[in-house]
Amino acid sequence: MWPKLMELSKINVMEGEWTDEHYYKSLLPLIQDADIPSVRCEVLPITRLHDETYWGGLRSIHRIDIAMLDPRQWYLDDDDFYAYIREVSRIKFSAISLFEHPYGLDRPRLIDLDSFERKLFERTKIAVQIIRGKQGSDIQIISPAITDTNVEYHDRYVDYFMHHRNSFDVYALHLCNDMQEPTIGRVVGLLNQILRILPREVWVTKWAIPSVDHKVSTSGIVGETSWQPLSQAAASQRLRHTFTVTEAATKRKCQWFYSGMCQDAYSPRHVPSPVDFWGKSMVYDVDAYNYEWGFQHFLGMFDYQNNIKDGLFGTFIDLAKMQNSQND
């Protein structure tokens, strides 16, 4: 494993395409002062498949700590998928996430579920074999995310982890949701099922708490929100509660990456386009498309006016400093 991920603390910050100049100017100095490590996560775009300059640059400058396969790879034929994985396998990443939401947002809706599942099993085996063959134990292969899964896919998800129980070095866990107790219970319940199949270290690769202290207004084609917004005070309590519950479930064998160091995706000033609701600049995408302001649009540490959510940020810093000092 590359040194950057060997130097992780219990609680870390995840940077990505969603972090912008406001983060680097206002939050990163405070995070560094608190000795909280940060790592960089990026998707490897299939649109650069035949761009040797791009791949050569990744081989020479190791700017990505956790790489992610492009979810659009499901639209590639098998030959292009093999070529894509071969390019990826030649780069010494610290860790790589293969498929983030295979039964959710990533699955092409025009492919029937059984056919897609056969392709998912096949491509998981191929990707692990090629990447492991090139990198050996120097790379951490991360599982698809354990998250709040549609009940329709629950058993399929468990079967997938059973079948591929020896494929992954760590399990990915996503804790970006409405933070209501039933939701947390479902996620932790699924995590416990999978840990019983084969215990592994858990990485919370998407962790952000939604909060909003202003009125959520709607305009144009945006419907009324069905999410019950959390204040910063309530979100701060949920931040600590989610950490405590998950640590107990994993017997403290868990690494945390807070990914919400960005601006909220909400804006009351204009009629949004689909890009405002779903896209690579979002911290987290939900599986069901609908035009309403949901919890996923309020996962940032800045509100829509770029004001820092001081209460929530302060709670994060305090929790990270306390936990990281205990694990030094």
Residues of the chain with pLDDT > 90: what percent?
54
pLDDT (0 to 100) of residue 227: 64
Instruction: Indicate whether 328 belongs to any domain.
Output: no
Number of domains in the chain: 1
pLDDT (0 to 100) of residue 240: 94
Instruction: Indicate whether 164 belongs to any domain.
Output: yes
Token pair 């191929």: residue: 126
What average pLDDT score do residues 210-218 get? 78
Question: For residue 178, is pLDDT > 80?
Answer: no
* CA of residue 250 relative to chain centroid, distance: 18
What average pLDDT score do residues 51-73 get? 89
Quote the domain boundaries for residue 220: 3-323
Say which amino acid occupies 67.
Answer: A
More confident residue, 25 or 182: 25
Give all strands (DSSP E) within the chain, no chain letters: 11-15, 38-44, 66-69, 95-97, 140-146, 170-175, 201-207, 254-258
CATH, residue 8: 3.20.20.80
pLDDT (0 to 100) of residue 275: 46
More confident residue, 134 or 100: 134
The reported pTM is: 0.90
Q: In this predicted model, what pLDDT tens digit does every residue of 266-317 receive, in sequence order?
A: 777 655 554 444 444 455 555 555 567 777 788 899 998 899 999 999 999 9
Mean pLDDT is lowest, of 74-78, 145-149, 267-271, for 267-271
The pLDDT-based confidence of 108 (bands split at 50, 70, 90) is confident
Question: For residue 29, is pLDDT > 60?
Answer: yes
Closest CA to 167 of 191, 192, 200: 200
Question: For residue 216, is pLDDT > 80?
Answer: no
> How many CB atoms are closer than 10 A to CB 268?
14
- Give the CA angle between residues 173, 40, 134 to the nearest 5°: 80
Residues of the chain with pLDDT > 70: what percent?
87
Report the distance separating Cα 169 and Cα 182, nearest Å.
Answer: 29
The pLDDT-based confidence of 35 (bands split at 50, 70, 90) is very high
Mean pLDDT of the chain: 86
The pLDDT-based confidence of 3 (bands split at 50, 70, 90) is very low
pLDDT (0 to 100) of residue 14: 94
Say which amino acid occupies 85.
Answer: I
Instruction: Indicate whether 229 belongs to any domain.
Output: yes
Question: For residue 224, is pLDDT > 60?
Answer: no
